Amino acid sequence: MKFVLPALPYDYGALEPYIDARTMEIHHDKHHLAYIENLIKALDTCPEFQPTSVESLLINLANVPSDIREAVRNNGGGHYNHSLFWKIMKKNGGGKPNGLVADLINKSFGSFDDFQSQFNAQAKKVFGSGWAWLSLHKSGKLVITGLPNQDSPLTYDEQPILGLDVWEHAYYLKYQNKRPDYISAWWHVINWDQVEENYRAIIE
Ligand code: MN
């Protein structure tokens, strides 16, 4: 199994003015790469353990050798989460979803506005470093969760379709301590077509 840094699907400045080019460059080229390098380093110490995918590592974290489980949790999670994150954003994104995801959001949260305010509240209250997620629980329910560090929803029987990185490295250059401003700005770059695709990939 080879773990490689996926290319950003747009240029560093594509999400300006909501997310600045310098942040995107450091976030993708340095932070994401470091997760991959550290995942590979950890796995190299257990050559008898051969994962088939990053997803399988995170879904079956309990089966990962205990010596490297924490490193896999953090760095495998970091790799998986960021790979999803780049794709659910785009230039001239934002607006509201349509299709199956819109229906499910309305059914689960009452309306898009109610969903958005619950998601924002979750993203604001993640203490320290972590993520806010919109995921499909194995029960079939759409759920909003906050997870610490690079924990992946996959480890908790949930399949993420949308996620927001609220680590300071994701916003500090432009927003400093103003996480709520970053959260508000992020809605302008969401790639709802990709979110729909993520959902369809789970159910089809
Ligand atoms: Mn990050």
pLDDT digits (tens, 9 = 90+) for 65-119: 999 999 999 999 999 999 999 999 999 999 999 899 999 999 999 999 999 999 9
Same domain, 191 and 121: yes
Using the mean position of ligand 1's atoms as its centre, give its distance from the Cα of residue 196 in Å.
22
How many structural domains is the chain composed of? 2
Average pLDDT of the residues of the chain: 97
Residues 71 and 109 occupy one common structural domain:
no
Prediction pTM value: 0.97
Give the closest residue to 179 by CA, choosing from 187, 188, 170. 170
**Domain stops at, among 65, 87, 109:** 87
Q: How far is the CA of 110 from the centre of ligand 1 (A)?
A: 30
Q: How many other C-beta atoms are found inside a 10 Å radius of the C-beta of residue 151?
A: 20
Ligand 1: centre distance to CA 100 (Å): 28
Ligand 1 center to 75 CA (angstroms):
11
Q: What angle do the packed helices 100-109 and 192-203 form, to 10 degrees?
A: 90
Structure-token match 């309306």, residue found: 111
Does residue 172 share a domain with residue 108?
A: yes
pLDDT at 167: 98
**Nearest-5° Cα angle at 145, 8 to 67:** 75
- Give 165 Cα–ligand 1 centroid separation in angstroms: 6
- Measured in Å, residue 170 CA sits from the centre of ligand 1 at 5
| Cα(27) to centroid(ligand 1), Å | 6
What's the confidence (pLDDT) of residue 25? Answer: 98
Cα separation, 170 vs 133, in Å, equals 15
For residue 7, the CA-to-ligand 1 centroid distance in Å is 15
In contact, 133 and 139? CB cutoff 8 Å: no
Show the low-confidence residues of the chain (pLDDT under 50).
none
State the amino acid at position 9 in one-letter form: P
CA-based nearest residue to 105, from 117, 91, 88, 87:
117
Query: Does one domain contain both 118 and 179?
Result: yes
State the residue range of the domain holding 81: 21-87
Looking at the structure, do residues 112 and 73 belong to the same domain, yes or no?
A: no
Instruction: Kindly state the tokens that stand for 17.
Output: 């003015």
As a dihedral over the C-alpha atoms of residue 168, residue 192, residue 80, residue 63, rounded to 10 degrees, the angle is 120
CA of 40 to the centre of ligand 1 (A): 18
